[in-house]
Structure 1
Amino acid sequence: MPMIFIGYLFTGVLLALGVAIIIASWDTLNALPKLDLKYLSTLVQAAMAFIGAIAVAILTATVGRSNEYLKVRLTQSVNAATAKLNAELTRAVNASTERLRAELTASVNESAQLLQAELTKSGDVFRAELNQLVPRRYEAYHAIWTALTQYFRAVQKFEEGIFDEDILKAADKACEDASGHTLLVDQIDQDTFHNFWQELTRLYEIAKEKRDLPDGLRTLWRNEGRTLGLHYQEVREAFANRLLA
């Protein structure tokens, strides 16, 4: 910057010097009686042109140097502003990222703790309910099996020719009462219970018609007893396997 200032100063001095020379020369030459004004004017123009050319060259160089200096300063200012802006932007982004990461971590940890608490609570509730359900399921299977066994033993007396209607009605009532427990057993076992109950009831109804016939009940048992006994064992094994599973 000082060199540019000196260039401008030197150009101004040259122009001032040229003007001073012209004035001095004009006064001096004008005092000479024999000097032609035409030649004097030419001389002055030549001097002015020479001095002006030097001044223009110096000024041009100075302006060019000044432009380069301004360009460099502008570039430096832009780079400095850009670097500052990038640094501030980086700090802002890093700060926001750290804050979001901390908030996300806290949120995830809180959610994980809540979920773990809920799972623990659910697990405790499930275990408590399971501890209550298992004995009730056992009682349900025991109730329906006891009722079916009671009914089967009453029907089995047909083999001896015995038709005890009170015992048969009581056995049928026991199955009816036990049917309320089927809600706690598997669906397939509910179907097994009702199918065997219906099979026993069918023999009971047939026996009503044959009880007064000679050897009617024994004949009925010979025809149906073996199949009924096999079904009885199948039901027993199915229920036992379900409880032991």
Structure 2
Amino acid sequence: MTPVLQVEGLVKHYGGRQVLRGVDLAVAEHEVVALIGASGSGKSTLLRCIDLLDDIDDGRILLDGVDISDPRADTRRRRHKPGGSVAAQKSMAIVFQAFNLFPHMTALQNVALAPRVVHGLAAGEADDRAHELLARVGLADLAEVHPDRLSGGQQQRVAIARALAVRPRLLLLDEITSALDPELVGEVLAIVRELAHGGATILMATHEMGFAKQVADRVCFLDGGVLLESGPPEQVLGDPVEERTRQFLARVIAAGRLG
């Protein structure tokens, strides 16, 4: 079966620095893959390249077998503009560390915006979808509230609902709890856990090792832009093969973050 996502030999430079060094990665339908590694290891860059937010220098990115990284492909140009391919527009959505909500819009308006403006849904249908998704993330009663009246955890849940509003084939999560106070982390992770159990296809960069161990089907350790080790959570987190992975996890344990 063709993977939902296939990354082949991905290379990315920033200036003269090579950030990704030939990364190969596949994510199957309904699989949850956790990317772990130290700050600067390339996790966020990999997600940004997969979402076509950053150009790549070499390699390929395929969604359902289609090379979306080819600059000649219509998929790449259509993905971010109205009237483009429905399949391309629905293929991916990303949630960042920062919430990136529009401050002048209510939670409902933030979630309904992309389905209405980008995908051409009627306003009523977009609002109905937004109400449904806000209820799904536990914010049904805050639909008319603006972001500055929401907690960090609530804002991040709105951001997740906004990503889900485009019905993505692949959900990318970039350290989505990093900007949250510790007491708010659990409410956001609970939503991701529910999505995972519901069969969503997810690629997430995370520093929450205990959560990765509970939810992920596979854990991938990045180090210096190289995917150094990949396997089931119990193997990578409990009995890693690579010495560099063991060193990283020893620091995580010392910081009390393995869980």
Same topology, TM > 0.5 = no
Is the strand fraction higher in 1 or 2? 2
The interval holding the TM-score normalised by the smaller chain is under 0.3
Is the helix fraction higher in 1 or 2? 1
Higher RCO (C-alpha under 8 Å, 6+ residues apart): 2
TM-score between the two structures when normalised by the length of structure 2: 0.17
TM-score between the two structures when normalised by the length of structure 1: 0.18
